Amino acid sequence: MTAKIISGKEIAAAILEELKAEVSVLKLKHNVEPGLVTILVGDDPASVSYVTAKQRTARDLGFHSVQDIRPADTSEETLLKTIGDYNSDPAIHGILVQLPLPKHINENRVLYAVNPDKDVDGFHPVNVGRLMIGDARFYPCTPYGIREMLVRTGVPIEGAEVVVVGRSNLVGKPIAMMLVQKQKAANATVTICHTRTKNLKEHTLRADILIVAAGTRNAVTADMVREGAVVIDVGVNRIGTTPEGKAILRGDVDFDAVKEKASAITPVPGGVGPMTITMLMMNTVRAAKFAAGIALE
């Protein structure tokens, strides 16, 4: 069997088109312009490129977009005050603090200062708790993107055996929690694996849907995948650079071998990655609708 390649790039482009149309309606019919601020402290090149991409996408969609860049020596107090200002700014519906923050700033203290109604990253404990009890307003962007890819590819989730490799707060735990809910696009039987899991392969071989978010190159090889499984590769590993100086990226899954066994697989790059920014935009539109009292589906 040769797997269908699930193109996150194509799915993301389709969602962005839908969002663009929704933003036009929000502006025309409701006089609501979704507002997103990205706050970056310092000038780490990877972080600069992430926030630039987020702002470019926000502008393309017709958002009110603010890029707030602060020097690396910004104090925690100043950053907290900045977040407080955006919390009470009615033109801003989504606040994204680009991580990592410089070492002298307590990351949790900063993330917890964001108004949960504007927490479009879904990292605030209120939103983590709401996700846990099946009443989520915002899903963290990467897990949200994974679920959306499964749904839009027509992968049955209900009743499926889902195995997640990785238990981070960013990816592993939230995607497991989303897919186990007694809700549509969920109702799966979920197993979470990590570095202390005994005999990882015994678990991964059971998976109808295998989600790998380990950050370890070739954490999953073909002998660990059941014939016909759907494989979602979240990992991003830099394996070198092109002569032009561009990073060469690969996932956590041995793609070439696993694609001969899986029924569908996401590539790296071009799989989960493009979905993450897209779902940030989706969350910002949700936040704007919520603030305007427009029903969320």
Active site residues: 54, 98, 121
Kindly state whether residue 200 participates in binding ligand NAP, applying the rule CB under 6 A.
yes
Residue ranges in 234-293 that form contacts with ligand NAP under rule CB under 6 A: 234-236, 272-273, 276
Q: Site map for ligand NAP, 124-163, x if CB under 6 A?
A: ------------------x---------------------
Q: What are phi and psi of 228, to 5 degrees?
A: 90, 0
Between CA 223 and CA 31 the distance in angstroms is: 55
Non-local (6+) Cβ contacts of 166 within 8 A are 172, 192, 193, 194, 211, 212, 213, 214, 215, 234
**The residue to which tokens 């996932």 are assigned:** 251
Note whether 210 binds ligand NAP by CB under 6 A. Answer: no
Task: Considering the complex, state which of residue 23 and residue 164 has its C-beta at the smaller distance from ligand NAP.
Answer: 164
Q: Is 167 in the site for ligand NAP (CB under 6 A)?
A: yes
> φ, ψ for residue 66 (rounded to 5)?
-125, 125
**Burial class of residue 33 in the structure, from the number of CB atoms within 10 Å of its CB (0-12 exposed, 13-18 middle, 19+ buried):** middle
Residue of 170, 176, 179, 209 interacting with ligand NAP (CB under 6 A): 170
Phi-psi region of 234 (alpha: psi -120 to 50; beta: other; left: phi over 0): alpha
Q: Whose Cβ is closer to ligand NAP: residue 127's or residue 276's?
A: 276
Smallest separation, CB 85 to ligand NAP (Å) = 28
Stretch that binds ligand NAP, among 53-61, 99-107, 187-195, 257-265 (CB under 6 A): 187-195
Q: By CB under 6 A, which span of 42-50, 156-164, 233-241, 254-262 interacts with ligand NAP?
A: 233-241
The answer to whether residues 34 and 26 touch, using CB atoms and an 8 Å cutoff, is yes
Query: Does 213 contact ligand NAP by CB under 6 A?
Result: yes
Give residue 227's identity as a one-letter amino acid code. Answer: E
Binding site for ligand NAP (CB under 6 A): 142, 165-168, 170-172, 193-196, 200, 213-216, 219, 234-236, 272-273, 276
